[in-house]
Structure 1
Amino acid sequence: MTEATTDEAAVEASKPALPPVVRIPRVVQAAGFVAARRRTTMALKDKYGNAFTLDLPMFGHTVVISDPTLAKQVFTTSTDVLGNVQPNLSRLLGSGSVFGLEGADHRRRRKLLTPPFHGKSIKNYEAIVVEETLRETATWPEGSEFATLEPMMRITLNIILRAVFGAAGHELDDLRRMMPTWITLGSRLAPFPTPKRDWGQWSPWARIAAHRRHYYDILDTLIARARADPKLADRTDVLALFLQSTYEDGSPMSRTEIGDELLTLLAAGHETTASTLAWACERLSRHPDVLAEMADEALTDVNDLRQAAILEVQRVRTIIDFVGRHVLGEMVEVGPWRIPRGYTILVSILNMHADAEAFPDPDRFDPRRFVDAKVNTLSWMPFGGGTRRCVGAAFANMEMDVVLRTVLREFAIEPTGRAPEKWHARGVAYTPKDGGRITVRRRAAAATG
Structure 2
Amino acid sequence: MRSAQPITSSIDHESGPEARPAVLPPGPHLPSAIQGFGFMTRRRQTVAALARRHGSAFTIRIPVFGRVVVIADPTMAKQLFTTPTDQVNNVRPSLGRILGDGSMFALEGTDHRRRRKLLTPPLHGKRIKQYEAVVAEEFEAEARTWPTGTPFATLEPMMRVTLNVILRTVFGADGRELNTLRDIIPPMVTAGSRLAALPDIPFSLGRLDPRRAFRAHRRTYESTIDTLITKARNDPRLDERDDILALMLQSRYDDGSAMTDAEVADELLALLAAGHETTATTLAWAVERLQRNPDVLDALTTEVDAGGNELRLATIMETQRSRPVIDFAGRHVVADSIELGPYRIPRGYNILVAISQLHDDSRQFRDPERFDPGRFLGTTPGPAWLPFGGGTRRCIGAAFAHMEMDVVLRILLRDFTIEPTSAKPEAWHSRGVAYAPRRGGMVTVHRRTPTTTATDPTG
Within the alignment, does 1:168 sit opposite 2:166 as a pair?
no
For residue 326 of structure 1, the aligned residue among 327, 332, 353 is 332
Within the alignment, does 1:25 sit opposite 2:31 as a pair?
yes
Within the alignment, does 1:394 sit opposite 2:399 as a pair?
yes
Name the structure 1 match of 2:228.
Answer: 222
Per-residue Cα deviation, 1:345-377 (whole angstroms, up to 9, x for no partner): 00111111111111011111011111112211x
Per-residue Cα deviation, 1:45-93 (whole angstroms, up to 9, x for no partner): 0100000000112111110000011001100111010001111111110
For residue 157 of structure 1, the aligned residue among 138, 163, 180 is 163
For residue 198 of structure 1, the aligned residue among 180, 197, 204 is 204
Name the structure 1 match of 2:434.
Answer: 429
Name the structure 2 match of 1:307.
Answer: 313
Q: Which secondary structure state, in structure 2, belongs to the residue aligned with residue 168 of structure 1? A: coil
Distance across 1 between alignment mates of 2:17 and 2:328: 33
Q: Which secondary structure state, in structure 2, belongs to the residue aligned with residue 62 of structure 1? A: strand
CA contact (8 A) 2:64 2:200 kept: no
Name the structure 2 match of 1:365.
Answer: 371
Relative to structure 2, which stretch is displaced further, 85-94 or 202-211? Answer: 202-211
Distance across 2 between alignment mates of 1:77 and 1:250: 30
CA contact (8 A) 1:124 1:236 kept: no
Distance across 1 between alignment mates of 2:220 and 2:207: 15
Q: CA deviation at 1:447?
A: 2.7
Distance across 1 between alignment mates of 2:379 and 2:208: 52
User: What letter is aligned with 1:445?
Assistant: P
TM-score, normalising length from structure 1?
A: 0.96
Q: CA deviation at 1:200?
A: 3.4
Name the structure 2 match of 1:379.
Answer: 384
Q: Which runs of 5+ in 2 are unaligned?
A: 1-15
Matches within 5 A, 1:39-50: 39-50=45-56
Name the structure 1 match of 2:13.
Answer: none
Name the structure 1 match of 2:6.
Answer: none
Name the structure 2 match of 1:338.
Answer: 344
For residue 278 of structure 1, the aligned residue among 276, 284, 295 is 284
Q: Which secondary structure state, in structure 1, belongs to the residue aligned with residue 258 of structure 2? A: coil
Name the structure 2 match of 1:258.
Answer: 264
Within the alignment, does 1:407 sit opposite 2:412 as a pair?
yes
Within the alignment, does 1:418 sit opposite 2:415 as a pair?
no
CA contact (8 A) 1:188 1:426 kept: yes
Name the structure 2 match of 1:80.
Answer: 86
Relative to structure 2, which stretch is displaced further, 225-234 or 420-429? Answer: 225-234
Q: CA deviation at 1:230?
A: 2.4
User: What letter is aligned with 1:74?
Assistant: L
Name the structure 2 match of 1:188.
Answer: 194
Kindly tell me the number of residue pairs found equivalent between the two proteins.
439
User: What letter is aligned with 1:147?
Assistant: A
Name the structure 2 match of 1:146.
Answer: 152
For residue 101 of structure 1, the aligned residue among 96, 107, 112 is 107
Q: CA deviation at 1:13?
A: 7.0
User: What letter is aligned with 2:102?
Assistant: G
Name the structure 2 match of 1:4.
Answer: none
User: What letter is aligned with 1:190?
Assistant: A
CA contact (8 A) 1:82 1:329 kept: yes
CA contact (8 A) 2:122 2:128 kept: yes
CA contact (8 A) 1:272 1:429 kept: yes
Q: CA deviation at 1:202?
A: 6.0
Q: CA deviation at 1:301?
A: 2.6
Within the alignment, does 1:59 sit opposite 2:68 as a pair?
no
Q: CA deviation at 1:208?
A: 1.2
User: What letter is aligned with 2:260?
Assistant: S
Relative to structure 2, which stretch is displaced further, 257-266 or 195-204? Answer: 195-204
Give the superposed CA RMSD: 1.3
Q: CA deviation at 1:152?
A: 0.5
User: What letter is aligned with 2:392?
Assistant: T
Name the structure 2 match of 1:6.
Answer: none
Distance across 2 between alignment mates of 1:408 and 1:22: 47
Q: CA deviation at 1:157?
A: 0.6
Q: CA deviation at 1:24?
A: 1.3
CA contact (8 A) 1:147 1:437 kept: yes
Q: Which secondary structure state, in structure 2, belongs to the residue aligned with residue 401 of structure 1? A: helix
Q: Which secondary structure state, in structure 1, belongs to the residue aligned with residue 206 of structure 2? A: coil
Q: CA deviation at 1:195?
A: 1.5
Q: Which runs of 5+ in 1 are unaligned?
A: 1-9
Q: Which secondary structure state, in structure 2, belongs to the residue aligned with residue 299 of structure 1? A: helix
Q: CA deviation at 1:231?
A: 2.1
CA contact (8 A) 1:94 1:260 kept: yes
Distance across 2 between alignment mates of 1:16 and 1:139: 59
Distance across 1 between alignment mates of 2:164 and 2:305: 25
Name the structure 2 match of 1:440.
Answer: 445
Q: CA deviation at 1:299?
A: 2.2
Q: CA deviation at 1:12?
A: 8.3
Name the structure 1 match of 2:215.
Answer: 209
CA contact (8 A) 1:327 1:343 kept: yes
Distance across 1 between alignment mates of 2:151 and 2:262: 44
Aligned-pair identity (%): 58
Name the structure 2 match of 1:5.
Answer: none
TM-score, normalising length from structure 2?
A: 0.94
Distance across 2 between alignment mates of 1:190 and 1:178: 18
Distance across 1 between alignment mates of 2:320 and 2:343: 30
Matches within 5 A, 1:241-256: 241-256=247-262
